[in-house]
Each structure stands twice: as C-alpha cells, then as structure tokens.
Amino acid sequence: MTMPKAPISARRAAVLLAAAGFAVALPAAASAETPTPSPGAATVNKAGTSFLTAAGISPGQPVRVGASVGDYLYWSFTAAAGDTHHVAATVSLPAAASRKGDSTWTVEVFDGLRRRQACVAGAQTPVASKSAATVELDCELRQVRSWAEPWSGDPLPGTYYVRLSGIELPEQELGLPIEVSLLVGVESDGDTEPEGGNLKEPLVPAVNPGKVLAGDPTASTPDPAAAGDEEDGWFDWVRWPSLSSRWYWTIGGGILAAVAGVVGFALTRPRQRVG
Amino acid sequence: MMIKRRIPIVLLGLSAALTTLGVPPAHADEHETEPVEPPKVELVLDVSGSMRAKDVGGRSRIAVAQEAFNDVVDALPETTDLGIRVLGATYGGDDKKLGCQDTQQLVPVGPVDRVKAKNAIATLRPTGFTPVGLALREAAKDLGTGETTRRIVLITDGEDTCAPPDPCEVARELAAQGTHLVVDTLGLIPDEKVRKQLVCIASATGGTYTSAQSKEDLTRRIKQIVERAKDTHTKTPAKVAGTDVCAKAPVLTPGVYTDRERFEEHRWYRIPVQPGQELRASVSIGLDRPLNRDYGVLLRATATDGRELVRGNDAGSGRTDVLSTGLRWSAAEDDEDEVEDDDKGGLFTDSTEKAPEPAVVCLVVSNSFSAKAGAGQAPGMPLELTIDLVDASPAPNSPGLGRGWVLLGVLILAGLLSGLIVGWLTRWWVAVWRTR
C-alpha cells in the first residue's frame, strides 16, 4: 500500500488550523494607554464637594471645571463587571508669580462603600514644582470583578467615586484659581473573575436619609421569603456548576474534539479506489 | 467542512455567555431623592469700611462686589431661592458694641425679584464693623431648617473685628446643629489673617475657600457656587447619636445618617440583618479642624456577644476633607447550617423548624485622630454613616468546567490524536484479520 496523497493536504490543513487556534489564544495584554474622550460626549462643567454630592459622569465624558487650590472635587461613575478604568486628570496651576513652593496633588478612587481602591499604574500623587504650569495625574484601576467575598476589598460593580485634591499645599496658595480637566476611560473585557459569580446588587450606596427604629430589633418580624428556601430538590447532592460561559466553552470544545477525532480517523483510512 | 459548521455554534455560545453578564447598574438615582424644597442660598456680603479700598483693578472693592452680585442675580436659576444679607452696612459710629450688631437681611430667602434685589444692592455704602460670626448665625436663621442642604456664601475683605464669638467656632457650632449647612467663603484681595479665618470657616462646614483678585474671579466663583447649590442639594442625612455600648445603641434602617464623634470616642449602632441579607455600611469622618498629621478610621461589625465579624479601615496623612471606609457582611451559609444542627440536637424532628431570627449586627466607629494644640474637642468631628441591606451574594461554584482558546486547542489536539490512533489500530487489526 502506498501512502495516499490526499490526506497529506488534509493533514497540512489540520496543522494550519491548530496554529491559527493558538495564534488567537494569545491574550491581548491590557494596555495602559491614556484614555481618549468618546466622540460626541458632552463636557461636564461641574464637580461635587463630597461623596453625597459627587457629580455623575460616564467613562469617555470629558470634565472641565474651574476650582480653587485646596478644593476637594468629587465625581462618580458607574462600573460593570469586566471593566478596567483609567482616570487621567490635568490641573492647570495658578501663575508662577503667585506660587510659594512645591505642591503635591492626588487623585483617589473609592468604591460604592467608600473603600479606597488601589491604583495599579500611573502617577497618583505627583509633585508640582513651584514653576510648573500644569500637573498630570493618572490612575489605572484593577479590573472590576463580578463577585467577591464580603471580606475582600476587590473592586465590584457599582458606583465609583473619584476625588481630586491637593494633599500638600503651601498655605499661602489656598484659594487661588485652578482649572481641572479629567477623563475616565474604560476598557471592557467580558472575561470576569470569578467565573459564574455575581453580585446580587451593585455597590450603589443609599442616598436617602435613614430612619432610627425604636425598640428591640430582635422583636421585628422575620422576612417570610427568606425563611422558606430550605427545600430539598432533586439532585441536590450534585453541586451543579452555575450557568456561565464555561458551559459553552466546554461543550463547544467537546464537539470540536469529536470532530477532530473523526477527522483523525478519516486521515488513517486507505483511499478508496473507485474504478 | 464539519469544523467550519461547528465554529459558529461556539461563537453563538460565547455571545450568549456575554449577554448573561448583565447590564451596568444605574447611577444612584438622583430623581428618587428629588427634594420638595428648592435649593436655598444666602449671600453674605461684608460692607465694612475697608471695602472702600480702591485696589481691584483701580476700582473700589464694593463697586466690584456690587457688579458681581448683579451678574449673579441676572444668571440665577429660576428654581433657586436666594437671599442677601449684609454686615457693617449701616452703623458708622465708633461704638463697637453697636457696630457689632450691625447686620441686616437685604433680600429675604425666596424666589428673587431681580429689579428689587439690584436696587437694594446699588444702595450699599461701605460703613462699619465686620461682625462675621453674628452674620453667619443670622444667615443660618434666615435659611431656616428643612430637609435639604443650605449654602451660605460669605464674601469679605477683612477679618472679623467683633470676636468673640470667633466666626470659625460659630461655623462649627452651626454645622453641628444638624441642619446641613455649608459655608463657602470668598476673600476679596485677602491678607493672611483673612485667609486663615475664611479657610477655617470653610473647612469647619465642608465648604470651599476662594481668594478673588478680580471681578471675574468673584463673579465666576459665586455663579459656580449658586449653580452647585442647585446641582447638589440633597436630602439632609438623618441625625443619630451612637452610644458607647452595643446593647443601648440606636437601631438603624437603610439610609444615610450623621453623627459627631470626638477623639478616641467609640460610637455604636445596631442593625437587624435578616438571613439571606447582606449588610453594607460605610462611614466618613470629616476633618473639620486642625489635626495632627497622621490619622485613621476603623469601622467594625461585631455580633451582639462582641465577636468581630468584619472590619473596614483606612488611614492617611496630610491634608484631606474626609477619611472613609466601608464593609460588607452576610451570614455565611455554613454558619446557618451549624446553628440548625445545634437546634436539632441529633433528633430528626420538624418541630424545631421555625422562622430564623434576624441577626443583630453591632457597628462601631472609632478613630485615631489627634488634635493640634488649640483645636477644640467639642463638638465632635462630623461622621456620616451609610447603611444598606441587600440580598446576599452567595459564592459562585463552577468547578469541573473550563474556558479559553487553549482549552479548545488541547481538546481538538486530543481528539485528533485519539482519532489517528484508533484509525491506525483499526487498520492494523483489519490487516492482521485479512492475512489470517
């Protein structure tokens, strides 16, 4: 039996296919580029002065606002699981003639529970020299998780607060006019960790005034809905993986493997000599 | 060919997976809290003798202030209630006692009659003393008490000449009264003393300080503050007083609260949490007075027996307005099971099955601030507490499944190899069978 010719080209095709598959498999590294404003986004000309009064912005929307040295400026934006945010700000400082020394500026990000969020890259607290006309601030955040344990400080979907302020300023410079421009950029990647977890409610803080209850809290009636979910269903002993994209990947992979098996089997079959 | 037909199925699966990731949550809905009251602002203008100085681009300070006021009145949003109060405008004598009572409301807080307001502004002539403290107190009275934030814009060129009361102390005292009052200050060509005083007043109430060197500075800033009053007037958080032990602590429901906490003080609150609920709490402590450089805030959730459940903390150094932290807590599922097992005591009876009791979680806020020499202890520093109760988010479980292109590649290679091996084995077996 001589080696059939057609299967060779089929083999080559298979190799090419596999190579192509691996080329796609290389993950695109999260780039830390400076965010650019999205086309057509209206410029926001305001800033809040506290967590409760933070001015709402959306990623890609440029902010330009006049302020004074010593102000604490607050903005808030909304994040979804899989987002990686990048906050970039520029502060135009007062004229050098009225300046008295170096100043340190900071951009801080807090989540919906006012917990400080880490910046993984960027000049978060730059120092402006006495003669500098502007100072650039930059903070790249971690990717927003879809779920995290209550005890962890991982970034979760919900509201995020940005606070821009001077942390070390010459006292004589307080009150002088500055101009602040800020932009929040976002890169979304559907690949969220941990897979299949989700936060029932995003971290959006309460804003209405609360009410103090009188009397003993233990005497309040329990929620009937919460009481009756101890039902034994079928197959409860099986910990079914929750519905997630992993199901599709695994099923798709199985199908592809079966197809590849059939192809492999076909490759070894001697060519039928018809006529 | 078959492979090509399968790929779209995988892609279809992927896109379906992406849609299950959900839509981004909405902003904290501002309309939900739409207050019934219009935003209320009062401008407090110093018309003391020093306003005569002609040093704002060759013009007198009062003329510049009058012009700026006119611009602000012209640009006033329809919905904003504006009032104007002056100090040092009428008494020209030398009696300090009389001069320090000299403050009048020029335009009452309400919808503004533009012509009337401008006429009133035009009649102002720089005259007397500078009773800033008294004017602030009166302005707070003018604005009244209500459920939304009030703003005072203080415009002055000289320091208070009537202390006591020290205007900064007055500001702190007003802020502590519970009405959410913010004082923004503007210094017109300020000297060092004025700047220090105005910065102190602003930081005591969470306001801003601006030094205005020109008419443009002044107009732009007042307009911005009046606009801000419209944009950011929120319902005032509920006032609460935490106690020093959990057992007597006030019981809170979801919402925003304010309190005051002194140095080294612990403030306790209680929150009933139903099974299956998650407690979310955050706290901010305002730095409203001169403090030593390093500081921290700690928020702990404990069970009623004092066992710590979870904590949130933050620390810092240097200049800042508030220091905040937060925490989440929900009863672990395992905990509930344990409790149930204990109840049953090994007997399989249904009689022990009863509605689960809500757990009471104690929250305690403590701080590690320390006062600089001269900074008062009372009233405590402003504390803002946010409580929320939502459905608990249980831990995800997706074991045994994989994802990613590498997984697909490995599966395809494994399939191909096993197909080849099975094929060769079959051929070999057929060949052996044939030779027999």
Residues B201-246 pLDDT 10s: 998 888 899 988 888 888 888 888 888 887 766 677 888 899 999 9
Residues of A in contact with B417 (CB under 8 A): 264
Residues B148-171, mean pLDDT to the nearest whole number: 84
Most confident by average pLDDT, A227-241, A260-274, B353-367? A260-274
Residues of A in contact with B235 (CB under 8 A): 207-209
- Residue of B224, B395, B411 with shortest CB distance to A254: B411
| Cα gap A74→A63, rounded to integer Å | 11
B125: helix, strand or coil: coil
| Cβ distance of B396 and A197 shorter than 8 Å | yes
Asked whether the predicted pLDDT for residue B349 surpasses 70, the reply is no
In percent, how much of chain B has pLDDT > 90? 24
Let me know: does B24 contact A157? Beta carbons within 8 Å.
Answer: yes
- Residue of B22, B28, B397 with shortest CB distance to A207: B28
Q: What is the pTM of this model?
A: 0.80
- Residue of A53, A207, A212 with shortest CB distance to B252: A212
How far is the CA of B131 from the CAs of B43, B83, B113, in angstroms? 15, 18, 27
pLDDT grade, residue A153 (50/70/90)?
Answer: confident
| Cα gap B433→B436, rounded to integer Å | 5
Let me know: does B266 contact B362? Beta carbons within 8 Å.
Answer: no
pLDDT grade, residue A237 (50/70/90)?
Answer: low
Q: For residue B315, what are the β-bridge partners?
A: B296
ipTM: 0.80
| Cβ distance of B251 and A217 shorter than 8 Å | yes
B251: helix, strand or coil: strand
Please give the full DSSP string across B148-182, using - where no structure is assigned. B-EEEEEEESS--SSPSSPHHHHHHHHHHTSS-EE
* DSSP classification of residue A43: P
B46: helix, strand or coil: strand
Mean pLDDT of chain B: 80
Q: Are strands B255-261 and B238-239 parallel, antiparallel or unpaired?
A: parallel
- Report the chain B residue with the minimal C-alpha distance to residue A165: B320
| Residue B379 in tokens | 């009233």
| Cβ distance of A209 and B257 shorter than 8 Å | yes
- Residue of A55, A255, A269 with shortest CB distance to B231: A55
| pLDDT, tens only, A60-76 | 999 999 999 999 999 99
In percent, how much of chain A has pLDDT > 70? 73
Asked whether the predicted pLDDT for residue B428 surpasses 80, the reply is yes
Residues of A in contact with B329 (CB under 8 A): 150
Please give the full DSSP string across B388-410, using - where no structure is assigned. EEEE--PPP--TT---SHHHHHH
CA distance A42 to chain B (A): 17
Residues of B in contact with A202 (CB under 8 A): 25
- Report the chain B residue with the minimal C-alpha distance to residue A259: B3
- Report the chain B residue with the minimal C-alpha distance to residue A144: B24
pLDDT grade, residue A235 (50/70/90)?
Answer: low
- Residues A274/B5/B6/B11 CA torsion (nearest 10 deg): 160
Query: Residues 230 to 269 of A: which have CB under 8 A from any B CB?
Result: 239-269
Query: Residues 103 to 142 of A: which have CB under 8 A from any B CB?
Result: 104, 110-116
More confident position, B176 or A259: A259
| Cβ distance of B416 and A261 shorter than 8 Å | yes
B123: helix, strand or coil: coil
| pLDDT, tens only, B371-393 | 887 777 778 889 999 999 999 88
Pick from B108, B100, B91: which is nearest to B43 by CA?
B108
